[in-house]
Structure 1
């Protein structure tokens, strides 16, 4: 039997994991740009207030992300974790709807941010724990494909609900996907999860995890460059779509949610094939594939300044789809390469997610004030400049990595060097 083919007994759990990624696509990111439309159109908040609200979730995720990754490494209650955080996010969403004042929204966004921090490490751990090291690349690729497909469906559904209810329906859409996440999580068979493998403990069956401290992790050049690059990339990326949403919401028409839905749907439709193929393309080189994602981002930011029509703004999301599809898969694979056999894979994934969240939170808060002071075009210029810096840093300093499932000579030198 091919070692990269999962046994029949685990196919059910792998399918449920795919659908969990599908349903968690909307839950794990909260309402995102739809909330920006709601706050601008329904509550008439200014860009700086909206930036603080969106950034509150991202900042809370930054704080909770590394502890979430650590807890995922040591806990055997991963399915229960998904249930708890899904319920938390659903309740917080309804609280924002029924208590629409500034402080209530900020508190709810913080609660969503803390809960959302658990999704990334838990989903990655389940992929490793069910599929194993040899099938990890393929499983993550499929998971991310379902994740982006879920974003397409949720964006369409929430966009339609927003249209029919003057944006209030977006909170009911969030609750629906929370419920789906709970169902698919509980449908995964507990006996199919190898919790030791889920933390990447040991290169092969029977080996002991290497002793790896937090200081050891921070001594790894590749990991540090990836973290700094991810902060800059998501500082440049995170605020772009919410800023587009605010531009669409300024008109205060009933079509604002539909236009935002179109932005998300187009990007996610492109991400579906990009994620699927990235798992295969990454086998020939992680770095050169990731560089494509980094190079596209500054181009996208500049293009937003060339026109303000809804159709034009929506069409640019094709570039977001290409970059996002690549980053979502390859970043996970790089971290997995670097920390294979340490038992700290989920902790490292949590640190990366924290770096992403840090960039996103800074992006939404700071860009809101920049746009309020100098306008939307200047805001996009600043974000594009930061995206260019991220590309140059990654291109000049990031080493190549190779999957630790690859037995080729010399591959061991690409792993985490624990002196």
Structure 2
């Protein structure tokens, strides 16, 4: 039997999940809530801490942020492979969560340059496992026929978690001269472990999707994944999108750190809260809107990014910079849901779902790591506005490529992916 996206199957119908699975799905939602902060480390809050407390320059901060992203790039594909072959997904979440918590405290107590870089690398490797594992759990608990609904709910909780963590960590940073951000990370690490253990092992199907009729499962490498034209375009577009996107908020954080002093963490918190507050309804509705077409919805996300970059250069006041985050909320809410659904469309039934999701996450990480390192040097030598114009130009290129080359993926039969024969 071939599973087609959006088409219910009696074998895996989850319209009325059992009470046990309903509880596990609820724990998965709350795991996404708490993991929102854990899976990104300290994100832009670290940029504020390094600029304000340690007085690092933009190039050094770019290296620190980029080190985590680069480590994530290297670990993402193995993380996806892990999800395809392992039935120890809960244990994996616990281990990587503890790793991130310990590395966070090491940065606080050993703030030397190379120590921070080493901790960022450890966090990046650990964080790589969150995306593929959480997606795999969504498929394994919710079922293929309910995947759109499960992912949109998961991402809604994820963005709500970003709001909560931004408020809590922002307040901790405000009243502890930014050092409290590390304790905030530890709080969300503890929550993630609790919710992970709340998911019942028996409720997880570790076979991500049914195989296509007439196909035998086989070993798959990265080159096999790139045989699919739509997938290749999506990967390249994602690299450009996140190259343009990843550095924008950390660069704004550095501006706030220099201009606002002890209030910088609070303003950074406001940036994240506003963006994530917009992402919550957008992510929730994206699961429904995407049923009518993935491509046209994703185009809206791509067009928001160059507009946002240009707007950052027009004025420097903190309230103005914060308000622009509405556009980030629209783009991020759509991308977080629809990119996952597009990969699932293209690979459903192939048995390679999680590996494909891992490679997509690798593409996102490539863009993010290059973004932070390159933009840090650009801003150091040419200034904030010039750096934002460069990022906006790259974002516009990503929009053009996606608009003219990316096909629609919904209701694409799994047999279209002709691999592992």
**Superposed CA RMSD:** 1.5
How far apart are the structure 2 equivalents of 1:122 and 1:389? 31
Is 1:117 aligned to residue 128 of structure 2?
yes
SS in 1 for 2:313: coil
How far apart are the structure 2 equivalents of 1:402 and 1:210? 23
After TM superposition, the structure 1 = structure 2 runs for residues 258-269 of structure 1, keeping only pairs within 5 Å, are 258-269=266-277
Superposed displacement of residue 5, structure 1: 1.0
After TM superposition, the structure 1 = structure 2 runs for residues 80-119 of structure 1, keeping only pairs within 5 Å, are 80-119=91-130
Superposed displacement of residue 268, structure 1: 0.1
How far apart are the structure 2 equivalents of 1:330 and 1:263? 23
After TM superposition, the structure 1 = structure 2 runs for residues 332-411 of structure 1, keeping only pairs within 5 Å, are 332-403=340-411, 411=412
Superposed displacement of residue 352, structure 1: 0.3
Is 1:5 aligned to residue 15 of structure 2?
yes
Q: Do the aligned partners of 2:349 and 2:414 also contact (CA within 8 Å) in 1? A: no
How far apart are the structure 2 equivalents of 1:342 and 1:72? 14
Q: Given the alignment, which residue of 59, 76, 79 partners 1:65?
A: 76
How far apart are the structure 2 equivalents of 1:329 and 1:18? 14
Q: Following superposition, which runs of at least 4 residues in structure 1 exceed 6 angstroms of deviation?
A: none
Taking structure 2 as the reference length, the TM-score comes to 0.94
After TM superposition, the structure 1 = structure 2 runs for residues 57-206 of structure 1, keeping only pairs within 5 Å, are 57-196=68-207, 198=208, 200-202=209-211
How far apart are the structure 2 equivalents of 1:413 and 1:360? 30
Is 1:41 aligned to residue 49 of structure 2?
no
Q: Do the aligned partners of 2:346 and 2:414 also contact (CA within 8 Å) in 1? A: no
How far apart are the structure 2 equivalents of 1:414 and 1:70? 21
Q: Do the aligned partners of 1:73 and 1:346 also contact (CA within 8 Å) in 2? A: yes
Q: Do the aligned partners of 2:345 and 2:414 also contact (CA within 8 Å) in 1? A: no
How far apart are the structure 2 equivalents of 1:25 and 1:66? 20
CA deviations 1:166-203 (Å, max 9, x no partner) are 0000000001101100000010000000001x3x2425
Partner of 2:413: 412
Q: Do the aligned partners of 2:13 and 2:145 also contact (CA within 8 Å) in 1? A: yes
Q: Do the aligned partners of 1:201 and 1:209 also contact (CA within 8 Å) in 2? A: no
How far apart are the structure 2 equivalents of 1:246 and 1:334? 34
The 1:6–1:30 alpha-carbon spacing in structure 2 relative to 1, beyond 3 Å, is farther
Q: Which stretch shifts more, 249-258 or 187-196?
A: 249-258
How far apart are the structure 1 equivalents of 2:212 and 2:141? 16
SS in 1 for 2:417: coil
How far apart are the structure 1 equivalents of 2:239 and 2:219? 24
After TM superposition, the structure 1 = structure 2 runs for residues 305-316 of structure 1, keeping only pairs within 5 Å, are 305-316=313-324
Partner of 1:224: 232
Partner of 1:408: none
CA deviations 1:305-330 (Å, max 9, x no partner) are 00000000000000000000000000
CA deviations 1:147-166 (Å, max 9, x no partner) are 00000000000000000100
The 1:5–1:388 alpha-carbon spacing in structure 2 relative to 1, beyond 3 Å, is same
Q: Work out the number of aligned pairs and report it.
A: 408
Q: Do the aligned partners of 2:33 and 2:161 also contact (CA within 8 Å) in 1? A: yes
SS in 2 for 1:168: coil
Superposed displacement of residue 412, structure 1: 2.0
Q: Do the aligned partners of 2:348 and 2:414 also contact (CA within 8 Å) in 1? A: no
Which blocks of at least 5 consecutive residues in structure 1 are unaligned? Answer: 404-410
How far apart are the structure 2 equivalents of 1:100 and 1:211? 47
Superposed displacement of residue 213, structure 1: 2.7
How far apart are the structure 1 equivalents of 2:89 and 2:189? 16
Superposed displacement of residue 211, structure 1: 3.8
How far apart are the structure 2 equivalents of 1:247 and 1:112? 25
Q: Do the aligned partners of 1:65 and 1:350 also contact (CA within 8 Å) in 2? A: yes
Q: Given the alignment, which residue of 304, 311, 315 partners 1:303?
A: 311
The 1:143–1:184 alpha-carbon spacing in structure 2 relative to 1, beyond 3 Å, is same
The 1:208–1:4 alpha-carbon spacing in structure 2 relative to 1, beyond 3 Å, is farther
How far apart are the structure 1 equivalents of 2:54 and 2:347? 46
Q: Which stretch shifts more, 3-12 or 277-286?
A: 3-12
Q: Do the aligned partners of 1:337 and 1:415 also contact (CA within 8 Å) in 2? A: no
Q: Do the aligned partners of 2:310 and 2:392 also contact (CA within 8 Å) in 1? A: yes
